[in-house]
Chains A and B, each alone.
Chain A
């Protein structure tokens, strides 16, 4: 139990350290807010053009689609805030032998390398997503309950962990293949699949996106909960999947470490 306290304290310290650094570049927040909003505007143009042609896409109305886009934005931004940079740095650390500095510290190394840096601008950005969700829910006339919010938050956290697991596993491949920057591209390409309703995909592809590459679980389940378009079973399945993926990261990380060759000297 003392361990959990120690790790929580450590997380707090690392986040505080990053906040201090970030505060030196306050304008950066505004710039990032602006650029991410541009992305969202593009997405909404796309959505509105499609819905200009038909009232429903695979049974989803436009505001339901907007809830999905907002949810996806919140999850992607929070994931990028906590883990994206760290996974990128991990690749270089493995390749250049810089992992040594982390290995000698008396804490779990996977914890340390995964959470070392926090990108606060992305956290600020995720709030736009929350605004979009609330606005779209208002348009749909759907109210929110306290229990619903808690469950939604838990599902979002679970989705972030699944995202993290996928990217972490991709990064850790560096132990085997020496350079995996290109694999990172996969993260952005996979991300495509989470933007739209699972109903558009044919059976086989849909099952694939719910199991091996669970991009549909990541976005569709939390969004589905909000707009009452979800089978309860999927909630349990989602959490179970999150746990499986997380355990998998720890296992692969240990296997990978055995192949670590340290610095080139």
Chain B
């Protein structure tokens, strides 16, 4: 059926093609991922012993409700959350497309640039999770068998909220990258700025330290920031640290942030295109 591919089945079909092509491309380098998937857990080893030493210093007393085991589980779950919210290379790729005039080749195609980017990154995530499903369970099983770290079995609501929170994490993570990438319409050199932004994201998402053990004045503010959805909330929800009546408000705020980011991206894109000079012709 040579014509089958030419006949567009639905307007969304093209995005499906992008997704499957990109997935195949990434799968070519799957050993790349396997290698990364195993060694990315090395920092967790240091983390376990370091926090153990800290807790030993205080006779294992919990820190703001976080026991030693909580702290380790939090750091382990962070790998899952970041597996959804981090989309490496997106900011720099978009700013490069804009700066070097590479955007031209997307603008003339009958598709949405961000739609394309979402599919491209989604493919990357699919391959990541294909590999992760082989390695993550092993790590979690090992943690459970060696130290019985997982003390809380999530309820059905928590499990559901966790899944939703991961979707929110992806939506916020990728749209934030779009926003920062779009700054390239106005500024020529933003790599230093990108670095600072990524550092702040690292801190404000709770990757460095769980937000709830920071000084109170700080964490009340950080709880409401969009970045907390990129790491902190998914972890805390699955750990049962968010009371059931708080699940909906927390997720609701996340959805509001997605809406706000979506609006901001669209606005920046329209304003940016007016300034776009399409260098390189």
Q: Is the interface of B mostly helix, strand, loop or mixed?
A: helix
Collect the chain B residues with CB atoms within 8 Å of residue A35's CB.
Answer: 192, 195-196
Contact of A56 among B57, B195, B209 (CB under 8 A): B57
Say whether B185 faces chain A, with CB atoms less than 8 Å apart.
no
Q: Does residue A38 face the partner (Cβ distance < 8 Å to B)?
A: yes
Which of B44-52, B260-268, B272-280 touches A?
B44-52
Q: Which of B31-39, B84-92, B116-124, B220-228 contacts A (4 or more CB under 8 A)?
A: B31-39
The answer to whether A45 and B208 have CB atoms under 8 Å apart is: yes
Name B162-217 residues within 8 Å CB distance of A: 192, 195-196, 199, 202-203, 208-209, 213-214
Specify the chain A residue showing the minimal Cβ separation from B49.
A200
Asked if A201 lies at the interface with its beta carbon under 8 angstroms from chain B, I say: yes
- In the docked arrangement, what's the CA distance between A192 and B39, Å? 12
> Do B214 and A49 touch (CB < 8 A)?
yes
Selected from A49, A57, A195, A196, the residue in CB contact (under 8 A) with B57 is A57
B190 CB → nearest A CB, Å: 12
CB neighbours of A192 from chain B (8 A):
42-43, 46
Chain B positions within 8 Å of A106 at CB level:
none
- Which A residues are CB-close (under 8 A) to B58? 53-54
Number of chain B residues whose Cβ lies closer than 8 Å to a Cβ of chain A: 31
Chain A residues touching B, majority SS: helix
Q: How far does the alpha carbon of A57 sit from the alpha carbon of B54 in the complex, in Å? A: 5
Q: How many residues of A contact B (CB 8 A)?
A: 31
A186 near B192: Cβ-Cβ < 8 Å = no
A57 and B53: CB pair below 8 A? yes
> Does A149 interact with chain B (Cβ within 8 Å)?
no
**Do A49 and B192 form a contact, CB below 8 Å, given A54-B57, A57-B53, A202-B49?**
no
Q: CA separation between A237 and B190, bound complex, in Å?
A: 46
Interface residues of A in 176-212 (CB under 8 A from B): 182-183, 185-186, 189-190, 192-193, 195-196, 199-202, 205
The reply to whether the CB of A23 lies closer than 8 angstroms to some CB of chain B is: no
Known: A54-B58, A182-B32. A200 touches B39 (CB 8 A): no
Q: Are A201 and B49 in contact (CB under 8 A)?
A: yes
Contact with A along B116-157 (1 / 0, CB 8 A): 000000000000000000000000000000000000000000
Report if A200-B192 is in contact (Cβ < 8 Å); known contacts: A42-B208, A46-B208, A192-B46: no
Q: Does B63 contact A (CB under 8 A)?
A: yes
* B residues in contact (CB < 8 Å) with A: 31-32, 35-36, 39-40, 42-43, 45-46, 49-58, 63, 192, 195-196, 199, 202-203, 208-209, 213-214
Besides A57-B50, A57-B54, A200-B53, 8 other A-B contacts (C-beta < 8 A): A38-B195, A46-B208, A54-B54, A54-B57, A182-B35, A196-B49, A196-B50, A200-B52
26 A-B pairs whose Cβ atoms sit less than 8 Å apart in the complex: A31-B192, A35-B195, A38-B199, A39-B199, A45-B203, A49-B209, A49-B213, A50-B50, A50-B51, A53-B57, A53-B58, A53-B213, A54-B54, A54-B57, A54-B58, A56-B57, A57-B53, A57-B54, A58-B56, A189-B40, A189-B42, A192-B46, A193-B42, A196-B46, A200-B53, A202-B49
3 smallest beta-carbon distances between A and B, as pairs: A54-B57, A189-B42, A58-B53
